[in-house]
Structure 1
Amino acid sequence: MAARIDTLPNRRAIVDRRAIADALAALDGDNTARLRAQAVAILRGALDAGRAEIAARLAEHPSRGSEAAAGQAFLIDQLLRLIYDFTTGRLYPINNPTAAERLTLIAVGGYGRGEMAPFSDVDIAFLTPWKQTGWTEQVIEAMLYTLWDLGLKVGHSSRSLDEMVRMANSDLTIRTALLEGRYVWGDEALYDEASARFDREVTAGTARAFITEKLAERNARHKRLGDSRYVVEPNVKEGKGGLRDLHTLFWIGKYAYRVRTVAELVDKGLLTRAELRQFQTAENFLWAVRCHLHLITGRAEDRLTFDVQREIAERMRYANRPGATPVERFMRHYFLEAKKVGDLTGLFLAHLDDSFAARGRRFGLPSISRRPSRLKGFRLDRGRLALPADDFFATDPVRLIEMFALADKHGLEIHPLAMRAAGRDAGLIDGAVRRDPRANALFLDVLTSPRDPETVLRWMNEAGVFGRFVPDFGRVVAQMQFDMYHHYTVDEHSIRAIGLLSQIERGILKADHPHSHAIVTQIVSRRALYVAVLLHDIAKGRGGDHSVLGAEVAMRLCPRFGLTAAETEMVAWLVRHHLLMSATAFKRDLADFKTILDFAEVVKSPERLRLLLVLTVVDIRAVGPGVWNSWKRQLLTDLYEAAEEVLRLGHKQTGRKERIAAKQADLQALLGWDAAAFAELVARLPESYWIAEPIDVLARNARHIAEAGERPLSISAQVYPERGATLVTVYASDHPGLFYRIAGAIHLAGGSVIDARIHTTRDGMALDNFLVQDPLGRPFDDADRLERLRAGIEDALANRHRLADRLAAKPLARTRAEAFRIEPSVFIDNKASNRYTVVEVNAADRPALLNGLAHALFQSKATIHSAHVATYGERAVDTFYLTDLIGDKITAPARLRALEKRMLEAAAGTAPPPREAAA
């Protein structure tokens, strides 16, 4: 790969070594320290000018990534040669060197390949024939100090030839770095000797072990970084489908076949000419992205985060297209290139199998004894499904679907060469194949498989067969969702959701989802559920409501798949309403019975309810790690149970008083209080309180009230494991502004309010329950944090500090969110509840947002009865149930307009801060 340096155009414009050498030679004096300082100034100017030239070339030709990477390596080469010559010629000259006073400088690692990003480490090795002498130590130390003074990050080693061989044999990382070793400067004969000894004493006869270790290292790296090439903030260097995967292929080829360039892999039969072009195209693209990433961030950054994706898309000149912004088109290209890297890896390993794996075995894997006899003309190659002839798909294109169905049915892997043929022949899937009943039946068998549909669907997607057979799915392949909520591309999210559904059904995730597992066994419309999970996001990126458009796609596709009219109608309904359950559970007050009635009115049947719950669970969990939690599980369970009761008993609220009485009887039994004490508690609390709170919170509140006695303020904070949060209860004399002060104090303590219920006792006390999590979605669970939370709320309510000043002084976090432009919106609904005005606010999530919104409600003279906070990455959706000060809905048009204006200002962060006086 280093050959690219030799073909760089106009190299002298990057750095003119002869001119700089003349400038260094012209330096006067014999003071070593002063000479080195003067040299550093000259070299720094050359480094800055060279970097600027490379950056300017990349700006002019933003897709020439390999050229930019080679340019960086060339620049460092020339500087190292200059530093070596200056150090050995001017700083520490030696007239009659001994045989031991020889030194060679070798580039290793990525730098050894002749590829560097602007702020990559300079990986070098100093080699001596034997133990270091005083002179070699002086030279190495002076060179390193010069490099450090230039601001370069240097990875270095100093070894004798014997030490190099010993370390390379014992450490895979060192062996890999030296495998890329490239002569830079110094004693060339010593380098030749080192290279010969490395081939003779390190690599000879160890290719199979090296390959096995390198593939295990690759698998561990993938697992550490999420094991998917479709994460929406990928690591360009280390992630699956990134540069390191391409490097691994080259390392293996170089180690096993002694190749010097990627092009030589074609001569060895490891890549075809077409695959070589794919390798070089992917490598060039990934290097362009990585170089732009370094230049934008000004450091060695390899994670393609949201805050830089938009700028890289602009630099690489992606244009707007209908339904796709430049950043979405750029990221789609990225994922397609990452997929290409995965395809090449599979094919490369297949060739290694043929060359290195033991007879009848797979490389690094045990032999597979399964030998199914009915393979419909396909054959087995060491346990993998293979083709009997190169034109096997051309003679019957339905076999492109059948291959995956057989792999699923018999638990077989597919030979990479068969995958290559499937990718090549996927274009044979035309309208006739898509309409073919056998092809659709086979596809539906894979989709609804009781085994492992996720894996086989992913193979089908990797081969390009999925998108050809279902063109609507092909439209979302590699399509990212540019937000901080979704972790994967649309196709990866959908396939993961299918996998989660299968795991819930098979009991693998029974411990995580006991309710969903029990429900799946009860459903009648199993096929409809799997198809709905596949299609729920099928219409994303089409410029409209993807739920409505997706339902239209479902009505068209389901009959083709072989679903009945009833199943088709069920799938379309589920796709149309797949966000209904989460929106209701997370944004509405489930204690308000009208919420349940409105939800049940849309759902209409217990079977739909069961299907919708399971679809909602897998949709949320497939968004990414950490999105699903016990709080969401509990809210969805509460909504399901309440709606199920309505659907079973009819849309009529029955037994409100009986339900309250039953709750009170259960509570009294739980508390063990005498009749008089319990009657006093009941008399103080309104009916709405008994409906709103679950029995365990009622018990905690009752004990809290009893312990508080006559105190005007009592605060408790305790872990609430059932909800995955901390329950904060404030029992205080009621007064205006209580809520926004508490919300601000919780934020200052490092917490986020995810739910709040506000109650007022009949004798004028506020009883407010808050569910609080830390920024990572976990409860506060140690004594110090709980005490800080309690003390912060007490200080805020006692007005001991200027709350607004402290909130303003708290540093803003999560600058990545600034990459997203979210226009705040406010929706006021007087029909969603019979008793309350419901206000929903959508805004960019930011610190103390809830405090600002609550203060706006305080200014609007509105009473908050409950608040529900949901976050979707960078977006916050906060919902409030309000009345005016006398307990009625807010209906006057002028008041509603004023309320909306204040909430919009607070959501946008333009509202004036609260005016408070310190106590």
Structure 2
Amino acid sequence: MLREGRERCRRLQEAGSRGSQMSTLVSDLYDDLVLLVWNQACQEHFGGKVPSGLALVAHGGFGRRDLAPFSDADLMLIVSARATADGERVAQSLSRDLVDIGLEVGFSMRRPGEACALSWSDPVIFTSLTESRFLAGSLKIFSSFFESLRHGARRRSGPLIRSLMAARREEKLRWGDTSHLLTPNIKKSRGGLRDIQMMRWIGFARYGEVDLERLLKLGALSEEDYREIRRCYEFLIRLRNELHVRENRAQDVLDRPTQMVIAEAWSYPGGEGMLPVEAFMQEYFDVSRSVRYIARFFADDHRPRPIFARVMETLRAKRIGQGMMMGPEHVWVEAHALPEFVSSLPRVLRLMSLANLHGKRIQHHTWQAIRTAMQQRKPEAPDAESVGAFLSLLSKRTRLAPLLRRLHELRVIEQLIPEFKHCRGLLQFNAYHKYTVDAHSIRAVEAVTEFADDQSAMGRRYRRLKDKTLLHLALLIHDIGKGFEEDHSVVGARMARAIGERFELDHRSIEILEWLVLKHLAANTVAFRHDLSDPTILLDFAKEVGSIRRLELLMVHSVADLAAVGPGVLTDWKLKLMEDLYLRTRRYFEMGDIYADQESLTQDICQQVALHLPPAEEAATAHRILYQCPLSLLRRERPEDLAEQLLNIAKQLDQGATSVCYFHFDPITSAIRYVVIHRPSGRQVGVFARMVGSFMACGIDILRAEIMSVGDLLWDEFWVSDPDHPDQPPPERIAKVIALVEKMLADPAAPLPERRRTWSVGKQKDSPEVHVLPTKVVFDNETLDRYTILSVFAYDESGFLYRIASSLADLDVDLHFAKIDTHLDQVADVFYVTEENGQQISRPQRQEQIREGLLNALTGK
């Protein structure tokens, strides 16, 4: 029966049945199975009679009848004091036979008073028993238990609701305290089924009812909220059924491969610049946002407050404007003024500003009226008063991000910036971002306002901006062009100009706004993908920026944008690179000659390092290497530390060593760093590949790498992750790694050991089918005269860098500089390369040969 029933569920799901229809079918199936086993147990132990002191109860999801095909069956046997022995015999048969059938069963046996007492002390037990449903046995016993539970809950409603809300907060922290997760748990993450269930449980504590329709009739839930919750529930329960059917097991996590499969199965259409999976997830986020919004207000309206506080809310309220009232906890609009009030954008913005300023909640009825009005309001150009109020809000930093989130939930931002509607719940399915476009944009504003209390250089630059309005507006709309075929920066820049003109900004402000959106990725591209010691790169960037004011705006914008991508993305390493780019570019604007500045700085640092070296006649090799070092290398260490390293390197080279490798724990980036200096005796091609292969053979993952030439030396630096020693490795581990690197460089013919296999306990990688962006190889011969810039875009995986390096060596490509970094799970590596004769790689046929070789190496073809 169970097998056939689940197969019937599968067919219904594939036919597109409603979620509640499927849940009813599963619940009926479970009822039939449980009652068959119950009747068999009664036949076995009591000759077919039902003992008078027993009642079989379904609770939890089974009691609610919203089961998915592989859900657990939660059962409780209520026994009277005189029927305990009978209950134990029945319980043994039930728990044994139901498990043998193949059901996952949660089973308990309680006396009525015991079950109630446990409910008052444990919110998990309480929430499950509120959903109790009579199945078999003594209806009298069940009714007595449930009425005791109902009346006891209403008497204890305050403490129970507080414990329910605390337990839910803890659960959201474990499963996702945002409704914009890439891989949500549709049951337990914020905005999931659990929030709908929370409304039922709070309703039971306050009114003794869990049924949402009954709560509607009691006035605890509005008609609009009821309809919306029912719509969202149907979507979520259908989605949960789909997960169970596809996985053939209980599954509530909506992972990325499954998102793609469901989007196709449910026939979501793609669109211009939008994948079907992105359209599907946009609807999911819309549903979870609605659930979160309604559940939050329901909990707030019914949270325990003393009668005195509720009375004082009205008695102590004061008028703060036409029709607006403010009490100790809430602000609201009087009922007679509400219809006219919600149609006025300036007045709504003023209410939001006052609520934000005083830290008050907006009363639910007022909030709901505003949200409904904004959804129904026809798009039209905002009036000057509305624009002025909005720009006034953007000019302030205090609590700006929470205010923008409120305005976004109320659809107010869409009234002022219609283009923002396209971003609502838009998930770019490329793993660059942790959040949807709208959530990321508001998070970027939040990140920049946090600079105000930061004592770093970025914080000082943010505080120096007298008028922060343009910066905040640019961050809010910087990704507004995503979801279209054309480059999102170009689309966004056009939209930014239109927004600036609609807001009637002055011509100069419109130009800056448009430029910031167009160039918001420029600083990241230069800092993370190019050699900052190359004057040509800096000069091109400086020309693109144009002035110190624009430079400061762009740098603050770029760092805030990076911080908002996801947790841990803005590393100390990246911040250091951005700061380096800022300082170099600013010096150019101040001095006007980037080449003179480079030479002057290089000479100054060399002189500082030389002070810590013996005289040139005693340490000739160290002095020679020092004056060949590029500025980027000179700036990486303190002068005294660099002097010590140079002496050690020179000593080994003078003794005949061809390679020197040393370990360094970088406190600035909190990263393990290996430095490899090699003097090639012949052909340089392939040296880098052997270095990378040596680390790979030791089971070490390369996070970043930079390679450069220092005179006749190859100077390569690797920032790595050592799975065996995540903090600082012991001396014997360091010695082993260094020995292998030096051995592999000393004997170019020696085969590399195979990579040591390890169990991975790190983050789970997505399967290849979710990698929707193509692997790309791009050639650039325009930026630099001397080198071809080779950019490789691909998804990160084990051995990625080694395959690239080996392929370049096999293709006789000479590598002069590399910058390697991982952006979430996607890699954008940049290599400065030439032919073996030192010429740029310019012939189309040669470029195609290299591109094909790299793609074959990366895709395993």
- TM-score where L is the length of structure 1: 0.85
Name which of 609, 628, 639 aligns with 1:687: 628
SS of corresponding position for 1:496: helix
- Post-superposition offset of 1:74: 2.1
The answer as to 2:705 corresponding to 1:756 is yes
State whether residues 790 and 831 of structure 2, in contact with CA within 8 Å, keep that contact through their aligned partners in structure 1.
Answer: yes
Give the corresponding residue for 1:850. 801
Name which of 11, 15, 23 aligns with 1:60: 15
- Post-superposition offset of 1:752: 3.7
Give the corresponding residue for 2:29. 75
Letter in 2 for 1:145: R
- Larger displacement relative to structure 2 (887-896 or 223-232): 887-896
After superposition, give the CA deviation of every residue in 1:503-545 in whole Å (9 maximum; x if it has no partner).
Answer: 212x1xx16xx12111112235522111111110112113211
Give the corresponding residue for 2:142. 191
Give the corresponding residue for 1:148. 99
State whether residues 263 and 280 of structure 2, in contact with CA within 8 Å, keep that contact through their aligned partners in structure 1.
Answer: yes
Name which of 432, 456, 459 aligns with 1:517: 459
Give distance in 2, aligned partners of 1:813 and 1:198: 44
State whether residues 393 and 425 of structure 1, in contact with CA within 8 Å, keep that contact through their aligned partners in structure 2.
Answer: no
Letter in 2 for 1:520: Y
Give distance in 2, aligned partners of 1:166 and 1:652: 78
Give distance in 2, aligned partners of 1:150 and 1:741: 59
Task: Note the residue ranges of structure 1 that are not aligned, 5 or more in a row.
Answer: 1-45, 911-919
State whether residues 130 and 161 of structure 1, in contact with CA within 8 Å, keep that contact through their aligned partners in structure 2.
Answer: no
Name which of 764, 768, 789 aligns with 2:716: 768
State whether residues 704 and 822 of structure 2, in contact with CA within 8 Å, keep that contact through their aligned partners in structure 1.
Answer: no
Letter in 2 for 1:413: R
Q: Identify if the C-alpha distance between structure 1 residues 791 and 351 changes in structure 2 by more than 3 Å, giving closer, same or farther.
A: same
After superposition, give the CA deviation of every residue in 1:349-389 in whole Å (9 maximum; x if it has no partner).
Answer: 45426xx52246379xx989997764343112443221122
- Post-superposition offset of 1:702: 2.4
The answer as to 2:55 corresponding to 1:104 is yes
Give distance in 2, aligned partners of 1:254 and 1:794: 72
Give the corresponding residue for 1:896. 847
Letter in 2 for 1:544: E
Q: Identify if the C-alpha distance between structure 1 residues 895 and 424 changes in structure 2 by more than 3 Å, giving closer, same or farther.
A: closer
Give the corresponding residue for 2:774. 823
State whether residues 51 and 118 of structure 1, in contact with CA within 8 Å, keep that contact through their aligned partners in structure 2.
Answer: yes
Give the corresponding residue for 2:339. 391
Name which of 475, 478, 492 aligns with 2:425: 478
State whether residues 119 and 125 of structure 2, in contact with CA within 8 Å, keep that contact through their aligned partners in structure 1.
Answer: yes
Give the corresponding residue for 1:320. 270
SS of corresponding position for 2:543: helix
Give the corresponding residue for 1:529. 471
After superposition, give the CA deviation of every residue in 1:430-483 in whole Å (9 maximum; x if it has no partner).
Answer: 566x33111101111222223211111111111122212321111211211112
Name which of 163, 167, 171 aligns with 1:213: 163
Give the corresponding residue for 2:181. 231
Give distance in 2, aligned partners of 1:352 and 1:528: 41
The answer as to 2:538 corresponding to 1:590 is no
Letter in 2 for 1:477: R
What is the 5 A alignment of 1:358-377? 358-359=306-307, 361=309, 374-377=320-323
Give the corresponding residue for 1:454. 401
After superposition, give the CA deviation of every residue in 1:622-675 in whole Å (9 maximum; x if it has no partner).
Answer: 112122211111111111111111122225311555433322222244x55454
What is the 5 A alignment of 1:752-901? 752-759=701-708, 766-773=714-721, 780-783=727-730, 790=738, 793=741, 803=752, 806=755, 814-891=765-842, 894-901=845-852
Name which of 713, 729, 741 aligns with 2:690: 741
Give distance in 2, aligned partners of 1:543 and 1:847: 31
Root-mean-square deviation over aligned CA pairs? 3.3
Letter in 2 for 1:739: F
What is the 5 A alignment of 1:298-447? 298-349=248-299, 351-352=301-302, 357-359=305-307, 361=309, 374-388=320-334, 389=336, 390-393=338-341, 396-427=344-375, 429-430=377-378, 434-447=381-394
Letter in 1 for 2:435: Y
Give distance in 2, aligned partners of 1:332 and 1:214: 30
Give distance in 2, aligned partners of 1:52 and 1:754: 47
Give the corresponding residue for 2:675. 729
After superposition, give the CA deviation of every residue in 1:739-770 in whole Å (9 maximum; x if it has no partner).
Answer: 223323434555443432335565x6644211
Q: Identify if the C-alpha distance between structure 1 residues 779 and 585 changes in structure 2 by more than 3 Å, giving closer, same or farther.
A: farther
State whether residues 812 and 835 of structure 2, in contact with CA within 8 Å, keep that contact through their aligned partners in structure 1.
Answer: yes
Give the corresponding residue for 2:39. 85
Letter in 1 for 2:662: S
After superposition, give the CA deviation of every residue in 1:175-204 in whole Å (9 maximum; x if it has no partner).
Answer: 11111122233444432332233235x424
- Post-superposition offset of 1:591: 2.2
Q: Identify if the C-alpha distance between structure 1 residues 779 and 119 changes in structure 2 by more than 3 Å, giving closer, same or farther.
A: same
Give distance in 2, aligned partners of 1:404 and 1:265: 30
Letter in 2 for 1:705: I
State whether residues 182 and 434 of structure 2, in contact with CA within 8 Å, keep that contact through their aligned partners in structure 1.
Answer: yes
Give distance in 1, aligned partners of 2:90 and 2:748: 66
Give distance in 1, aligned partners of 2:512 and 2:317: 40
- Post-superposition offset of 1:56: 1.0
State whether residues 105 and 126 of structure 1, in contact with CA within 8 Å, keep that contact through their aligned partners in structure 2.
Answer: yes
SS of corresponding position for 2:596: coil
SS of corresponding position for 2:773: coil
SS of corresponding position for 2:464: coil
State whether residues 708 and 818 of structure 2, in contact with CA within 8 Å, keep that contact through their aligned partners in structure 1.
Answer: no
- Post-superposition offset of 1:781: 3.2
Letter in 1 for 2:350: E
State whether residues 539 and 547 of structure 1, in contact with CA within 8 Å, keep that contact through their aligned partners in structure 2.
Answer: yes
Give the corresponding residue for 1:289. 239
State whether residues 431 and 825 of structure 2, in contact with CA within 8 Å, keep that contact through their aligned partners in structure 1.
Answer: yes
- Larger displacement relative to structure 2 (395-404 or 272-281): 395-404
Give distance in 2, aligned partners of 1:374 and 1:774: 61
State whether residues 319 and 326 of structure 2, in contact with CA within 8 Å, keep that contact through their aligned partners in structure 1.
Answer: no
Give distance in 1, aligned partners of 2:251 and 2:738: 40
SS of corresponding position for 1:263: helix
SS of corresponding position for 1:654: helix
Q: How many residues align?
A: 847
Give distance in 1, aligned partners of 2:792 and 2:602: 32
Q: Identify if the C-alpha distance between structure 1 residues 249 and 593 changes in structure 2 by more than 3 Å, giving closer, same or farther.
A: same
- Larger displacement relative to structure 2 (135-144 or 241-250): 135-144
Give the corresponding residue for 1:909. 860
Q: Identify if the C-alpha distance between structure 1 residues 880 and 407 changes in structure 2 by more than 3 Å, giving closer, same or farther.
A: same
State whether residues 661 and 676 of structure 2, in contact with CA within 8 Å, keep that contact through their aligned partners in structure 1.
Answer: yes
Give distance in 1, aligned partners of 2:49 and 2:287: 55
Name which of 501, 510, 524 aligns with 1:559: 501
- TM-score where L is the length of structure 2: 0.91
- Post-superposition offset of 1:215: 1.9
After superposition, give the CA deviation of every residue in 1:469-505 in whole Å (9 maximum; x if it has no partner).
Answer: 3211112112111121211111111111111222212
Give distance in 1, aligned partners of 2:626 and 2:708: 8
State whether residues 667 and 699 of structure 1, in contact with CA within 8 Å, keep that contact through their aligned partners in structure 2.
Answer: yes
State whether residues 777 and 792 of structure 2, in contact with CA within 8 Å, keep that contact through their aligned partners in structure 1.
Answer: yes
Give distance in 2, aligned partners of 1:820 and 1:77: 43
Give the corresponding residue for 2:225. 275
Q: Identify if the C-alpha distance between structure 1 residues 287 and 637 changes in structure 2 by more than 3 Å, giving closer, same or farther.
A: same
After superposition, give the CA deviation of every residue in 1:41-99 in whole Å (9 maximum; x if it has no partner).
Answer: xxxxx11110110121111125x112222322222222122222233424x55689987
State whether residues 342 and 370 of structure 2, in contact with CA within 8 Å, keep that contact through their aligned partners in structure 1.
Answer: no
Give distance in 1, aligned partners of 2:492 and 2:826: 23
Give distance in 1, aligned partners of 2:276 and 2:36: 43
- Percent of aligned pairs with the same residue? 28
